[in-house]
């Protein structure tokens, strides 16, 4: 379900209108991360499960053109997720 940008509460940082659909597509995949357990070292975030994201995209009505944006955000998120800062 795509939420119009104007309906987002003020607690969120502003998102440029031109980036809104990309953000919503990325967030539609937010529960689809692949994680690997590495014993005492904790978890390693591997990346998004693309098969599951495909379902989220189709069910959410997101266009294929947004996929590259999601992959850019995934690439940016991985170092942060794997930084060990809790």
pLDDT the model gives residue 75? 97
Band (6; pLDDT cuts 50, 70, 90) = low
Q: Which of 22, 23, 47, 52 is nearest to 33 (CA)?
A: 47
pTM value is: 0.77
pLDDT the model gives residue 17? 86
pLDDT the model gives residue 11? 56
pLDDT the model gives residue 74? 97
φ/ψ (deg, to 5) at 43:
-100, 150
Q: What is the pLDDT of residues 37-79, one digit of tens each?
A: 876 667 889 999 999 999 999 999 999 999 999 999 999 999 9
Domain edges within the chain: 5-81
Q: How many beta carbons lie within 10 A of that of residue 68, not counting itself?
A: 10
């Amino acid at each position: 379900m795509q939420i119009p940008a104007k309906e987002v509460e003020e607690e969120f940082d502003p998102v440029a209108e031109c980036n809104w659909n990309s953000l919503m597509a990325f967030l539609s995949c937010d529960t689809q991360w692949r994680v690997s357990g590495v014993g005492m070292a904790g978890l390693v975030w591997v990346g998004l499960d693309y098969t599951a994201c495909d379902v989220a995209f189709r069910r959410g009505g997101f266009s294929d053109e947004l996929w590259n944006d999601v992959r850019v955000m995934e690439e940016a998120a991985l170092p942060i997720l794997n930084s060990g800062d809790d």
